[in-house]
C-alpha cells in the first residue's frame, strides 16, 4: 500500500499572497485540512517540494481556496500551479478513500469519442494512481486513470461518469 496519495490539484493561483484554487482529485471528496503536510508533484525546480496547509476556504463541494505556510507570493505560487498535492495516507480520515468505490459501483461510463464504455466494476489502487475499472459489454475490463485530465463530468442524478481518454488507451 502506498504511503502518499494524490488528493488534490492546484488548479490556478488565486491572489498575490500565494493562494490557490484547489480542486479535489477525481472521485475524492475535498480532503485538505489546515495543518496537513502535502508534497507537490511533479516537483518544480525552483519551488518548495513540501508545505503545510495554512488556510482552507471552501468554494464549492470539491474545491477551496488554499494557502500554504511557505508559499507567500505570486511568483512561487505560479511555479506550483498545475501540481498535484500528495498527502500521507495516515493523515487522512479513516474511510476517506473508500467512498468513491461505494458511490460509483454500477455507474455507466461514457467516453467523449468512443461512446458508452460499460459500468464501473471497482476503483483499483495502482502504484501510480487510482484506476477506474470498467466492465465492458464484451467482457473486457477497461482501466482508466482516475485523474482530472480524463474525468470530464460526474452526473450523480444520471449515475454517469463522462470521460475523455487519449486515443489508444481503450485498446490496451
DSSP 114-158: TEEEEEEEEEEE-SSSEEEEEE-TTSPEEEEE--TTTEEEEETTT
- The predicted-structure confidence for 3-27, as pLDDT tens digits, reads as follows 888 889 999 999 999 999 999 886 6
For residue 156, the model assigns a pLDDT of: 79
Tell me the C-alpha distance between 92 and 33, whole Å: 9
Indicate the fold that domain 4-91 takes in CATH: Elongation Factor Tu (Ef-tu); domain 3 (2.40.30)
Beta bridge partners of 21: 12, 65
pTM listed for this prediction: 0.61
Higher pLDDT: 156 or 39? It is: 39
pLDDT at residue 57 is higher than 90: yes
Tell me the C-alpha distance between 88 and 90, whole Å: 5
Distances (CA, A) of 118 to 19, 165, 170: 39, 14, 12
Q: DSSP state, 5?
A: E
102 pLDDT band, cuts 50/70/90, is very low
Tell me the C-alpha distance between 146 and 129, whole Å: 7
Q: Where are the alpha helices (DSSP H) in the chain?
A: 74-80, 99-104
Residue spans of the domains in the chain: they are: 4-91, 99-171
Tell me the CATH class for 99-171. Answer: mainly beta
For 43, residues 6+ apart whose C-beta sits below 8 A from its C-beta are 49
Amino acid at each position: 500500500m502506498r504511503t502518499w496519495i494524490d488528493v488534490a490539484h492546484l488548479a490556478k493561483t488565486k491572489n498575490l499572497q500565494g493562494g490557490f484554487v484547489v480542486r479535489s482529485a477525481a472521485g475524492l471528496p475535498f480532503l485538505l485540512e489546515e495543518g496537513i503536510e502535502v508534497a507537490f508533484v511533479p516537483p518544480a525546480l525552483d519551488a518548495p517540494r513540501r508545505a503545510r496547509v495554512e488556510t482552507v476556504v471552501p468554494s464549492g463541494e470539491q474545491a477551496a481556496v488554499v494557502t500554504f505556510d511557505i508559499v507567500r507570493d505570486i511568483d512561487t505560487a505560479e511555479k506550483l500551479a498545475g501540481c498535484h498535492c500528495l498527502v500521507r495516507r495516515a493523515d487522512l480520515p479513516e474511510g476517506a478513500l473508500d467512498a468513491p468505490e461505494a458511490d460509483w459501483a454500477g455507474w455507466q461510463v461514457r467516453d467523449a469519442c468512443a461512446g458508452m464504455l460499460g459500468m464501473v466494476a471497482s476503483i483499483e489502487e495502482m502504484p501510480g494512481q487510482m484506476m477506474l475499472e470498467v466492465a465492458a459489454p464484451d467482457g473486457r475490463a477497461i482501466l482508466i486513470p482516475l485523474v482530472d485530465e480524463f474525468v470530464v463530468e460526474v452526473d450523480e442524478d444520471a449515475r454517469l461518469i463522462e470521460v475523455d481518454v487519449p486515443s489508444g488507451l481503450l485498446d490496451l
